[in-house]
Amino acid sequence: MASSFNSRSDKTLARLAKRWQGRYLRDQFKADPDRFTRFSMKVGGLFADFSKNHIDAETQAALFAFAEDAGFTDWRQRMFAGEAINSTENRAAWHVALRDTRLLTDVLREQVEHERCRGEELVRNIHRSAKYTDVVNIGIGGSHLGPEFVCKALSALRKPIVRPHFLSHTDPRTRSALLASLDPQKTLVVIASKSFTTIETSVNTKAVLDWLTENGISRQRLKEQVITVSANAKAVSSLGIPENHRFTMHEWVGGRYSMWSSIGLPIAIAFGNDEIVALHVGARTIDNNFLCDQADENLALILGLLDIWYASFMACPTRIVLAYNAALRLLPAYLQQLIMESGGKRVQRNGEPISMASAPIIWGGMGQNGQHAFYQLLHQGAHVVPVDFVLAMDEPVANEPGYETLVENFIAQSEALMCGKSADEVLQEGEDADLVPHMTFPGNRPSTSILLDKLDAFHLGQLIALYEHRTFVQGICWNINPFDQMGVELGKRMAGEIGKALRGESVAEHDASTSGLVALLAKLFRRDQ
């Protein structure tokens, strides 16, 4: 398959991919007793075993050369320096500077640290007052996926000081059920939207504010119970929220990277300021490793290149993420936005089409549940799906019933995917010959096992930053802009026109299918009947 760059390393990788078609991972381990040590790495409290992947020293060297041909080192330096690498929007993508403000200019550092101090003081005041039992975050996309993932993960460890809830989509039944469970006198509301024009957030904001006022919350009290986070200061001011409850997002922080900004306030409100600090410190350990110029010691670079290896050269259009802690169950959903919104592009930075397969489809779920559902496809299906197995070691429950079973399966599934079972092995077990084809497992299916030393904010920060930088590596090597998301806009704009049609306010022409659906559903909105 031709490259976007037509480089020598690209051609080398295409040649190596053909060679790997006839090679088996089981044989690689037999030939190299040190393979596990050679192809695994620990950074801080995060360990990754990538030895069960279709790589060897030659393939890895070619992948490193591919990254350098794409200008990886230069692009990485430009990102950390705050240059406008988001070329289509002429913005920096400087979320890493929120984790290390020393990267910022003096003026920006002062702004960011001032905003952070304001947030910390607000959280302390909320906790000191003990007025609130719940906080509802209204936002969608990057304004809720990251904070919700972290809050759900931390909830497995400790009881929140203020219980966090998240409203994203506009299904009225979900919203009504949530509000019915809350005391309006004891509920804080965080409205999180970079643009402050997102339709879902606007609809939910109106509904929740109406709920508060209908339940006796005065206009003055309402201002005390609502916090906003946005880059659109003008739109926020129209709500009449006092300045000490208004927090700013910088334009140079993309939505899906925004939990490092004031978008992370719900985490601090729920669990305390120390958890945000730990999250940032953990992420910074991965940032520091990502700045390592020794390629074979740079974990995010290695794993990002493996993602490219499978998607672009090994004909694997999907990748699955399997969490073996229930606390991490929202990880796949969070990564779907991070990876597919970043990599879901069909043209390069210069507008020319990408001439190789690029961003994979990300899916996943809880590992043990999946074993009784979609693992059938992973083990015996026609598709080869690279797997990320993720487990946080959880010593407090290590001796409780079920935890050992969970760990057993975490290890065994990656071995089973790699080793498989041959027809001869099935026959040796005494099975009927007619059943042999059904009981044979092809094996040779790649996986990476990621272990966290502990389930806490520090290690979550490491995990999130690792996937962020893997995504950056992919974007640079495919020569795309991984920091815009123009593809999400068309359907949103068209929804406005459909809304007019549903209400009988538009006579615009649509295709027969769209018109038919409008006709079927418009009766729901005929208020006169």
Measured CA to CA, the distance from residue 167 to residue 207 in angstroms comes to 11
Per annotation, catalytic residue among 30, 206, 383, 492: 492
Measured CA to CA, the distance from residue 316 to residue 458 in angstroms comes to 32
Sequential DSSP letters for 499-527? HHHHTT-------HHHHHHHHHHHGGG-T
Q: Is 165 a catalytic residue?
A: no
Q: Is 404 a catalytic residue?
A: no
Measured CA to CA, the distance from residue 454 to residue 104 in angstroms comes to 31
Helix orientation angle between 457-477 and 299-308, rounded to the nearest 10 degrees: 50
- Other beta carbons within 10 Å of 336: 16
Measured CA to CA, the distance from residue 141 to residue 169 in angstroms comes to 10
Measured CA to CA, the distance from residue 527 to residue 516 in angstroms comes to 20
C-alpha distances in Å from residue 490, one per residue of 4, 86, 327, 497, 504:
26, 20, 35, 11, 22
Helix orientation angle between 57-69 and 8-20, rounded to the nearest 10 degrees: 150
Structure tokens at 382: 């026609």
List of E strands, 124-244: 134-138, 163-167, 187-192, 226-230
Give 365's strand partners. Answer: 322
- Phi first, then psi: give them for residue 356, nearest 5 degrees: -140, 160
Measured CA to CA, the distance from residue 270 to residue 132 in angstroms comes to 10
Edge-to-edge strand order for the sheet containing 187-192? 163-167, 134-138, 187-192, 226-230, 246-248
Return the H-helix or E-strand segment holding 109: helix 106-129
Please give, one letter per residue, the 3-state secondary structure of 246-258: EEECCCCCCHHHH
Per annotation, catalytic residue among 250, 341, 345, 459: 341
Measured CA to CA, the distance from residue 265 to residue 420 in angstroms comes to 46
Helix (H, G, I), strand (E, B) or coil at 322: strand
Q: Any residues with CB less than 8 A from the CB of 284 and at least 6 apart, and which?
A: 99, 100, 461, 465
Measured CA to CA, the distance from residue 100 to residue 283 in angstroms comes to 10
| CA nearest to 261, candidates 108, 128, 153, 135 | 108
**Torsion of Cα atoms, 480 then 482 then 488 then 493, to 10°:** -80
Per annotation, catalytic residue among 18, 234, 372, 523: 372
- Phi first, then psi: give them for residue 312, nearest 5 degrees: -95, -25
Q: Is 186 a catalytic residue?
A: no
Catalytic residues: 341, 372, 492
